[in-house]
Each structure stands twice: as structure tokens, then as C-alpha cells.
Chain A
Amino acid sequence: MNLVIDPLPPHFMATLLAGISVNFAIAGMALTLGLGLGSLLALARVQGPLGRGAAAMLIGLMRAAPTFVVMFFLLNALPRGTLSGVMVVAISLVPYAAAYVADSAVDAIRQYRAGSTLACFLILPNIARAFFVLVMSSSAGAAVGVAEGIAVILRQAEKLPTLGGKLVLFAIGIACFGIPLQAGFALIRLIQRRLGRLAARNRDTASGGEGRPVDGVVPPLSGAANRG
């Protein structure tokens, strides 16, 4: 145990938690922007055929754009100093968030039109799931110098001389990210179950939408349909 704890500076955990809070902030910003854009796209998709076609094409493009490349694109294509590193990471996640929200919102609208109000509310746990996926994805910021949680871990790992010490540090990182993530997903499962029971009780068919994972980061609830 000494091998593990000794190399870590006393303020490491505080720095790590501060870094993880940056991940949450980035995810919050990305989701907020994604909600706005995704809602507009969802409305366009359920309107006339012209809007539907354009929105579907845009959503398809956003779905195909790799977050990591979008991040580097924003960093290099925009005039210098336009956006901070945190904002660049947040905006790079918006295509994923917006496409996810649009898909979930289209489902919700269809459920509502079909008379299933409760199934419509399944959009809420889906958005909560997207938030946690975005938290994990925001670790890409480490590649562009954003001081988020993974960047803190990797910096500390540079100073550790042994692979064993590094692996223990990485395990701490996984635990710090994993605990809120798994707790969040447990909460989502609970909400979904409650909604499902309510829906069954009301004889409404509730089918929960499942979003696609953002590049490399995957939601653990994989039972529901994953529309591509």
C-alpha cells in the first residue's frame, strides 16, 4: 500500500476531483447546447418532408463526425483565441449530443402522438445517460491541454517510476470516474423501471430509446435498441 500512496502528493485527490469537476462542467455545456440544437433538429424531423430530409442528413453527418477530430478541427480551423480549451472540448461533443437528443426527442414526440405520455418521458433518463457518456468523452480534453480528470491522472503517472504504481493510479482514476457513472446509470435504470411499471399499468407500450455511444465511450445499458 505504501508503494501506492507514497508517490502521490497530498493534494492529489483534491486536484483529481477538481479535474473531474471540469469533465462534468464540459458535459453540462455540451448537453445544454446539444439539447437546443437537437430539439430543433427533432422538430424539423417531425415536420414536412423537406425539413425531415435536411434534418436527417444533418443528424447523419453529426453522428459520423468523430469527436476527437472535431475537437482538433475547432482548435485549428477557428481564429486563434476564439474559444478556450474547455469550450473547444464542449463544442466538439455537441454533434454527438445533438444527434442523440434529436433521436430521443423524435421517439418521445412519436410516443406522445401515439398517446403514450409515460413512454414519452423516457427521454429524461436517456438524456441523463447522455450526460454521463459526455462526462467520459470529455476526457479527450487531455489531448489538448485541458486540465480535466484524466489529464491530472496522466500528469501524475508521468512521475511514477514503476508500471505497478501507474496501474494503481489508473485504478484510482477508473474508480473516481466509475463510481458516479455507475451510480448515475443505476439511478437511470431505477427511473426507467418505474416509468416502465407505470406505463404497463396504464397499458401503454413503453419502449426506451437507447442512444449511440460517443466515440469510444459507451453507455452500459445495452438492452434497448440502438438506432444507427
Chain B
Amino acid sequence: MRSLKCMSSKSAPILAETSHPRLLWRLPLAAACVVTLAAAAHAAESPDAALAALLNEARAAATPDACAHGAAEDRLVLAFCAGHLRIGVRVEYPLFASRAGARREGYEIDVANALAQKLGVEADFVNVKAANRIAMLGDDSVDLVIATMGDNTQRETQVRFVRPHYYQSQTVLVGPPEAVVTGWPDVRDRTVCATVGNASNAELVTNGVRLMLFDDASLLPERLADQTCAFAAQDDSFFAYSFTLPDFAASFSEKFGFSELPWGMGVAREGSDKLARALDLTSQLFHRDGVFLAAARANRIHTAFLERQQAVWSRPGCDRDGGASDPACVLPGANAELQATPFAGQVAAFEHWFDGWSGFELSLPMLKTAAAWSLFLNGAANSLILIAGALMSTLVFALGFGFATGARSPLLRWPARGVTVALQSSPILLTLVITAALMHALVPSSPAMALGAAIVALGLANGSNAGQAIAEAYVTLRAEQGRAAGDPKGLFARALHRSSTQIVAFLINAAKGTPIASFIGAPELLSALTDITSFSSGRATTYTLLLVFYTAVVAIVVWLCRRFQVLFARSSVAA
């Protein structure tokens, strides 16, 4: 039998002579040679071959002697020694990883089992939570974490993420089906329920959404159902289970998605090189062969990302050893880093010093990132504007109501009294909302409009009462002086003096009431700090500072009002 000797580039002259009858039989042979060579080359650098070689090498290293004497250094070899891989999974994340007694189920459980099977070891499941999953990798409690963990640049410094990613979530806005919401403009200035610490909160805030924050995502479906929340924003993976429930699916729908986040399996950064590489290769194969996709379909979760990934990892350019490190094939982690302020280093040093000095953990997130610092500065400035505006409007409305309520003409007096009673009967929050609704009918909604509405509402609520006090003083003065009452202007000035204690009390009350403006989206300090803490840590410190700020500002307002009262009294006596 003639040996099939394939030639390389030197065979070109032969192929050029294909018209020669003697050479015709060589043509299919050459083609077969080329195909075989290509296939052999591909096979040599295929992820399948690379994985097989890696696993053989690790198995070979897992000798009884190495295992017994702790010579094995990589977790893959240790897994072969032990015969099992310790995999951290969640227990209360329906459709992804849940546990009922000894039975575990969900997409991540299926993926974990498939991985263990591919590696030829048993899956030893360990319960982890979002809060401890990274720490458990660090202290060697688990070899691998498959626990709804988003891959971002911040976590990449703590965890070695397996690439390609095994899933991708996005934050979805969920609301009633009748609400027409297709994008950011439709939810600007509306309240959306979200969870503290969710990275997508920054995007909500920058798009003008007001946040009502909850500690635990599990509360969101309940709060939607009892209508505490008109809308809620959370990972689509979280809402996936809720949408399997007929009642929820009938009452709510996904409006739009944003802030896509690839999920990565994580291994420890130290001592897991071989394990990480084996998992990289296995993930490639699972995408290409549709293992991830089949598991997702079996668990009724979104499959669009996995379908796209299957197409990517089936391409020859990606379906090769090293594809997992090719930026053309693999997705990067989400960029979770916010631009730091120029003085972030000094702030961090001060926090560290304070911690050591006092024992209290101080966190000043508003000073560390440019976005938070900008929000903080604007919030503080707007708070001062709001307080000044509320004081002015209270004074103006007080004079107006005082004049009208104390007027002799019933046409002026009775409407003023009616409005006063209505304002007294309306909780301030309702007055605020009504004022904002009326102003919104006149001018487009904006932060400035919200500030204006708050100033008017606080002025109305407090000014009407202060005005009533002025009117009562005016009426009593008029009654006391009877016909001797002379110039109405002078009488009104004396009424102001007599009711100055009341006026001051309501001015102080107006200043104290300003933080409530955050409820209608006025960008004052409470609102700004709520936004800041929604995507950063340090809530306790932040709200303590907020309390100190407002208490100090109100104390200053009290002092100023008292000074004003004294000066006013002196000028009245002098007059």
C-alpha cells in the first residue's frame, strides 16, 4: 500500500499540474491530506484536547504519596486526591439554587453537577451566601463558588473568575402591565424600589429615579403586591422565579432592562491555577456543546445570553485552547470602579486613623468618589437654598394669611380661614404632593421644580398657621383698642410683634421640615445621601452626619430667629 505522505508548501507545483493525467489521482489524496492536517492541528489545540491533557496531568500528580503528604498544591489535584470538589452554592435562590431537605435544584446546581462529572469527581455542595461566598474561597472552605456572583472589576481583585461566564443577568424594571414604561424618561422622578448595595442603583440615580431602598430583595415582590412599590428594580434572575407564579405574572411585567452583568464561577486567586484553567476549558465546551443552554432551559430561566454565547464558542476562532483569554471571544467583567476624588487617599487614611483611635468604623463614601462628592456638594447647597426659601415663603405666606384672616371683609376672611383649616388638616406629606402635582401641571418636572414645590408647600403649611396667629393677635388688639384703634398698618405691625413667638416657632418648623422635600425628588442632602448610600457602603456614618448637619442647621436657624425676634421687639418698643 502506498503510503500517504502529505506534503506541505512544497507540494504546490504538483497541484499546479493537475491537468496531467498521471497526477489526477493525487488530487483527492492531497485534499484529504490538507483536511487531515487541519483537523489534526485543530485537534491538537482544541479545548477538548487541552482539557484532557490538563486532567491527565492533574490525575497523575494526585499520587497517593502526594495526597497523603500534602504535596499537592493545586486545588484540582487536591480534588482528585479527595475524589470530590467542594462547591459553594446558594440555597434560597429559586430556579438557580434552592434546597428542600437534602434535595438541591436549579440551574447552578445542574451546572455544578455537570462540571464535577466532566472533571470526574463528586460534587460536594457547601451552602454560601452573597455576603460570605468570597470569604469562603479565601479561607479554603470551598474550592469553587457558583453562587449568582457577578463578575466585576472590584471582585476580580479578590476572586479568579472562570471565563467564559456561565450566565448573564441584567437589572429589570418591573411594574404593573398597564403602566406604559419603555425607557428612562418614563420613570424619571418616579419612585422605584431597589435593594441597598445593588451596583445598578448608580444608573437609576443618574437617570433621575427616586429610590425606596430595602435591605433584602425578597421583600420586593411583596412590596409590589401590596402596592408599597409601584415599580421595583432588581436582577432578572431574581424576578425569574416570581414570574413563574401565575398571580405575579398576571399582575406585573418587565418594562426594560439595563446594567447587564456577566456571572462568573469563582475560585481562589492562590493555589487554583489548574482548577481555574480546567474550568475555563470546561465552560468553553459547555457553551459550545449547549450544556449550559440545556440546563437553563430545564430550569426555565432566560436563555438569550446563552444562545448568543453558544454561537460565539462554536466559532473556530474561539473554539480553541486559549479562547477563554481572547478578548474577541470572552466578555470582560463589569466595570464597578467609580472615579475617585483627588483627596480619596487622605479620606481613607483619616478613616483608618479614626478607626484606630476611637474603635469606631468610620466610612465617608461621599468624599471618596467623584460621583458621590458631586451629589453631596449639590445636596448640601440645595438644602441651604431650600431652608432659606422655606423661611422666606413661610414669612410671606404668614403675612398674607395674617392680613386676609384678620381682615374685616368676610370675602377675604372666610376663604383665608377655609384654606387655613384645609392646610391644617392635611399632613405635610400630602400638602407637598398636592403642591408638586399642581406645579407639575404648569411646568415640566425637574429637580428645580421639586425644590420650588417644597418651598411653596412648607411656606403654605407653616405660613397659614403663623398667619392665623397674626390674625388672632390683630383681632385681639383691635378689640382691646376698640374705636381708639388707629392706623391699620400700625395695628398690623403691633400684631406681628405680639405674635412673634408663634411666627418664630413656625419658621423653625419650616426649617425642620425641609428634609421631607426629598419625598418629591428635591435634590437636597437627604436625597443625595440616600442616592450615595444606595451604591456605596457607610450608611450608619452617612446618616449620622446627615442628622448632625440638619440638627446644626436648625439650631442655627433657631438662634437667628431668636436674634431676629429680639431685634424686632426692640424696634417695636422704639417705635
Residues in A lying within 8 Å of B, measured CB to CB: 60-61, 63-70, 72-73, 75-77, 80-81, 136-137, 139-140, 142-145, 147, 149-151, 153-155, 157-158, 163, 166-167, 170, 173-175, 177-179, 181-182, 212-220, 222-223, 225-228
CB-CB nearest in chain A for B544: A77
Which of B43-51, B341-349, B430-438 is found at the contact surface with chain A? B430-438
Chain A residues with CB below 8 A from B501, complex form: 225-228
In the complex, identify which listed stretch (B80-88, B118-126, B144-152, B504-512) lies at the interface while the others stay far away.
Answer: B504-512
Contact B505 A228 (CB under 8 A): yes
**A216 pairs with B472, CB closer than 8 A:** no
A64 to B549 alpha-carbon distance, docked (Å) = 11
In contact, A151 and B506 (Cβ under 8 angstroms): no
Chain A to chain B contacts (Cβ below 8 Å), 23 pairs: A64-B554, A66-B551, A68-B513, A68-B516, A68-B518, A73-B547, A76-B539, A76-B540, A137-B427, A139-B427, A170-B434, A174-B430, A177-B427, A181-B425, A182-B424, A212-B505, A213-B506, A215-B428, A215-B509, A216-B509, A219-B465, A222-B465, A228-B508
Q: A64 contacts B424, CB within 8 Å?
A: no
Known: A145-B212, A228-B508, A228-B558. A216 touches B461 (CB 8 A): yes
* CA distance in complex: A177, B427 (Å): 8
- B contact residues around A179 at 8 Å (CB): 425
Would A173 and B421 count as touching, CB distance under 8 A?
Answer: no
Contacts of A212 in B (CB 8 A): 505, 508-509
- A170 neighbours in B (Cβ, 8 Å): 426, 430, 433-434, 437
How far, in whole Å, are A142 and B193 apart by their CA atoms in the complex? 13
Q: Is B272 an interface residue (CB 8 A)?
A: no
The reply to whether B421 and A182 contact each other, CB–CB distance below 8 Å, is yes
For residue B514, CB closer than 8 A to chain A, the reply is yes
- By a CB distance below 8 angstroms, the chain A residues around B226 are 147
Chain B positions within 8 Å of A72 at CB level: 515, 526, 530, 543, 546
Chain A residue nearest to B499 (CB atoms) is A222
Candidate in A67, A154, A158, A226 with the most chain B CB atoms within 10 angstroms: A226
Question: Is B59 among interface residues, defined by CB-CB distance under 8 A?
Answer: no
Smallest Cβ-Cβ distance to B554: which chain A residue? A64
Counting residue pairs across A and B whose Cβ atoms lie within 8 Å, the total is: 188
Give every chain A residue within 8 A of B193 (Cβ-Cβ): 145
Which one of A151, A212, A214 has the greatest number of beta carbons of chain B within 10 Å?
A212
Interface of chain A: mostly helix, strand, loop or mixed: helix
- Cα-based distance from A223 to B502 in the complex (angstroms): 8
**Interface residue count on the B side (C-beta < 8 Å):** 68
Count chain B CB atoms within 10 A of each CB in A65, A155, A213, A222 and give the residue with the most: A222
Complex formed: what's the CA distance from A64 to B516 in Å? 15
The 3 A-B residue pairs with the shortest CB-CB distance, nearest first, are A178-B425, A216-B513, A216-B428
Chain B residues with Cβ below 8 Å from A167 are 434, 437
B237 at the interface (CB under 8 A from A): no
Closest CB-CB distance, B216 to chain A, in whole Å?
Answer: 8
Do A218 and B546 form a contact, CB below 8 Å, given A66-B514, A72-B530, A226-B501? no
B431 — which chain A residues lie within 8 A by C-beta?
Answer: 216
Q: Does B42 contact A (CB under 8 A)?
A: no
A73 contact set on B, CB distance < 8 A: 543-544, 546-547
Query: Given A73-B544, A150-B427, A151-B228, A216–B558 Cβ distance below 8 Å?
Result: no
Cα of A157 to Cα of B438 in the assembled complex, Å = 13
CA distance A216 to B516 in the complex (A): 9
Q: Does B171 contact A (CB under 8 A)?
A: no
